[in-house]
């Protein structure tokens, strides 16, 4: 699933292509919004809010095209008339200007809402790690409201802090030396973990290769996806399990049983 850095980058590219330009084509391929047509309207800007993308069309009282990439979604920018790199039947939103086309493929969520409804749509999100509203103290306060919740679940909860996905969840727990099942109250230095989350997303937001090891080639991640190889620090075989609040929300969980001993999972 795309994480906050990927979405931030997508918003930057969409904003560069669309902001200030008049739409010459608007094709929203979602039944509920299929009749919506913003042709002739001007795109005000495109912003990221955690893992959400908001394309604002028209003036202050205009509309917002709200999308979430979920597991498979992505936005492409093409020169006008260029061949798409994905099949047309997978396109869910097409926005063209005189110069370019922005195409959203396999978007997990796509909705059109009045600009005034943005707060209702994304206001529940915690502080955005890559947003102007970033507030580490507020993120810590929200995390600590459920002291017995496993940190591996709390970090993924976008209501606590927005932008962390499964890769960062696993890598953050490893870098902190914390077992993912450790209760929030049992994490010895929670402020450091939150600060590290900010540092990692900031470091990766402008590059296509996500790295937590400092290497942009080869081994870019410490434990994520390494269940058949081993921890980069100690060589111990990485454990792969699944963790989620329920069966529908299970996500792969990678950790090193040596560097992140289960004993840390008990609150101290």
Instruction: Catalogue the active-site residues.
Output: 2-3, 51, 251
Helices 166-175 and 190-204: crossing angle in degrees, nearest 10, is 130
For residue 29, give the nearest of 79, 87, 77, 80 by alpha carbon.
Answer: 87
The dihedral region occupied by 55, where left means phi > 0, alpha psi between -120 and 50, and beta the remainder, is: beta
Token output for 56: 């604002």
Token pair listed for 166: 């499964």
- In terms of Cα–Cα distance, which of 151, 185, 180 is closest to 240? 180
Distance CA 268, CA 263 (A): 10
């Amino acid at each position: 699933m795309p994480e906050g850095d990927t979405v931030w980058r997508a918003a930057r590219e969409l904003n560069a292509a669309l902001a200030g330009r008049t739409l010459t084509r608007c094709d929203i391929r979602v039944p509920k919004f299929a009749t919506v047509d913003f042709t002739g309207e001007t795109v005000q800007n495109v912003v990221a809010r955690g893992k959400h993308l908001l394309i604002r069309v028209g003036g202050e009282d205009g509309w917002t095209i709200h999308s979430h990439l979920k597991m498979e979604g992505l936005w492409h920018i093409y020169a006008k008339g260029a061949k798409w790199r994905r099949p047309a039947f997978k396109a869910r939103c097409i926005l063209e200007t005189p110069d370019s086309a922005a195409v959203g493929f396999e978007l997990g969520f796509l909705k059109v809402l009045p600009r005034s409804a943005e707060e209702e749509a994304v206001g529940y999100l915690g502080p955005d790690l890559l947003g102007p509203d970033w507030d580490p103290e507020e993120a810590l306060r929200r995390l600590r409201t459920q002291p017995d919740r496993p940190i591996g679940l709390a970090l993924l909860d976008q209501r606590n802090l927005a932008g962390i996905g499964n890769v960062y969840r696993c890598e953050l727990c490893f870098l902190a030396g914390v077992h993912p099942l450790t209760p929030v109250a049992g994490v010895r230095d929670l402020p450091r973990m939150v600060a590290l989350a900010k540092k990692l997303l900031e470091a990766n937001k402008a590059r296509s290769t996500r790295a937590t090891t400092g290497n942009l080639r080869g081994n870019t991640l410490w434990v994520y996806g390494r269940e058949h190889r081993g921890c980069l620090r100690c060589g111990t075989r990485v454990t792969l399990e699944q963790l989620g609040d329920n069966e529908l929300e299970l996500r792969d969980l990678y950790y090193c049983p040596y560097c992140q001993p289960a004993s840390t999972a008990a609150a101290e």
